[in-house]
Chains A and B, each alone.
Chain A
Amino acid sequence: MKLVEALATISKGASSGGELLRVALVCGFTPLHLQTFLHAELQSRFPNHRIEIVTGTYGDVAGSLSSLVADGLEAVAVPLEWEDLDRRLGTRHLGGWGPGNLSSIHEQTRMRLSQLMILFERISKSIPVILSLPTLPLPPLFFTGAQRSGAWETALENEIFSFAAALTQHQRIRLIGAQRLQYLSPLSQRLDVKSEWTAGFPYSLLHASTVAGSMAQLIENPLPKKGLISDLDNTFWSGIIGEAGASEISWDLDHHSQGNGLYQQLLKTLAEEGVLVGVASKNDPSVIDEVLKRNDLIFDLNKAYPLDVSWGSKSAAVSRILETWNINADSVVFVDDDPLELAEVQAAHPTMTCLRFPRQHPQEIFELIVELRDLFGRDKISEEDQLRLESIRASANFVGTGDAEGFSEVLLEQAEPELTLTLKKDAEDARAFELLNKTNQFNLNGRRFTEAGWQNYLGEKDTFLLTAAYQDRFGPLGKIAVLAGRMNGEGLIVESWVMSCRAFSRRIEHQCLKSLFAAFNCETITFDYERTQRNGPVTSFLSGLMEETDTSRPRLSRQRFTEVCPRLFHRVREIKE
């Protein structure tokens, strides 16, 4: 982003109004253009918000962090530089170099990092901390010269690496990826000495823009894609299996098809992380059966689900896969080597990310793999991520055994369902937060939360949080439902309610309400319901419960619920605060 574009974005955003989103930018230098770029990047990512950037005291990162009041802040962004660790590691202060000072510089750096660690740990208990570790080059103060790494230089770098390793253990501390930053903003183009000496701002415009963009991305922390649908011929492997046969396709160095092998390796990794991997291929299914017998595939195709192999259109195959996964196109990436197929799928699913596999171009294949890695990047791998595919397979196996309203009562009973209901306001429950922000279909009103907003909500004394984890004899689904609301004089109000589509038709929603009536001993539950484009399932569910369905805040009495609640088969385990 250019500076003039950033200013225009800010100017445009200033008139848009909307909810306030405040971010603290704490740096030892004058924030100047970094503040401008960060404001603009956040405005682009949060177009319906009014952005405000608050800044700290010049030259005093630790002091600014110590006095930071997290209330009302969405995040704190800290571009830490060498000079913040010891002023002798900058160029604005004179008289501190020389071989006799190196030991004390190292010691001062170590002490300052220890101090900052305590501050970051404290702040991250309330809000996310977005941090870039020294991005500017060390000044030429080492006697070895820059062409050779000496003991003192590596000792300083080692302190930073150890510091970074410790920080990554904290859920709400997010470090900007140093390699990506290096790629986008080369070291040689980062420092602007003139700006540093005249304005106290050491970053070149390119570097300021890059750091701000990275910070804004980590503040937004967008949800990763959930599924990848891949073509096979000249994508998953090199060659056309229908013409060459299963023994002639390849994915290795010897056959100049290492890119296909690397792609398979990525798919295997993604699948192990819980990404859904499906296949849409125009082929004869019997030909694919042959390749399934090969035991040298890097990614075992038996682990892809579903395998949609037919001579029909790719877009129809993709639609069938989406239906099986029960997720939206905007959560899915489609990869194919054929531009026409990509265009056809893109036209049918405009919100899907469609990427071309650039066969015969190794560099471009590598870049595609890097891009895919980023699209599926996540904070951590949860238990639910690893259960997802198997639970979809298990659900699909029972299609056809259910009645019009879902699974048959016999099946529900024989499934030996167990539900763990936890009534506890745990702000550290990342899965609950994730479900609230990604579930579309069974979603009471489509309301989303920022991390700070969710923390504040749970901090209100009259609110509650109920989460539900499910398993049956076919396997666990993990944590699949979240209800949040509050008690007031009228009874219980449910303000947010989401449930994973994998858990539909198991009467979990009924069991949740039954438990709420019991836990709060209330006579009514009011639902803060709003119709959205996608929340048909929750609308249908509430319609089935209520006597009157045309009210915007439907209210359910205990008596009515008892009358309409179907038979429940769950063995319920309750955990309370």
Chain B
Amino acid sequence: VVYQGVGVVHERERLREPNELKGFNEAVLPHLDAAYNLARWLTRNDQDAEDVVQEASLRAFKYWKGFSGRDCRPWLLAIVRNTFYSWLRERSVQPELTEDGQVDDVDDDIPNPETVLIQNADRELLMAALEDLPVEFREAIVLREMEGLPYKEIADIAGVPIGTVMSRLARARKRLQTFLTNAAPRNRL
């Protein structure tokens, strides 16, 4: 459980409005599942995801008074993402990054019957395919396919241009399709 820095925040926050926590809870807690889902896919681990979300929530509360947007979900997800990368740096883990804008060397003309393999892929295979993606591709897929966010919000969360989001999604999907069609048993065709 991450409680780092709580003592410092305790002193700093002593004079805050009493109903501030209530407002924060009402606005932010409905998005806790989205925050956890992103953290879980980024860390690929339950406990690490909980630690990242808890730390991110404390950071979010710290900056809550300055938040003026209407929809706090992308704001919270951006904090979760930034917390995750801080968490990686603290552990001196280098994420496997790819070069944005490069086209993957993947066969463009996958035979059409492979659509059936993709459509029928089971949960275990899909999880393996997603976990196999480089982290910035994984976050793009999670934010688009699971959270249904538009490209603009994904770009804001990841701090990259929309063109980079498009490139990451296209490359991530191509990798997923290749993984699924190569791994699926042929007798399911």
B is bound to A? no
Question: Measuring CB to CB, which residues of chain B are less than 8 angstroms from any residue of chain A?
Answer: none
Question: Measuring CB to CB, which residues of chain A are less than 8 angstroms from any residue of chain B?
Answer: none
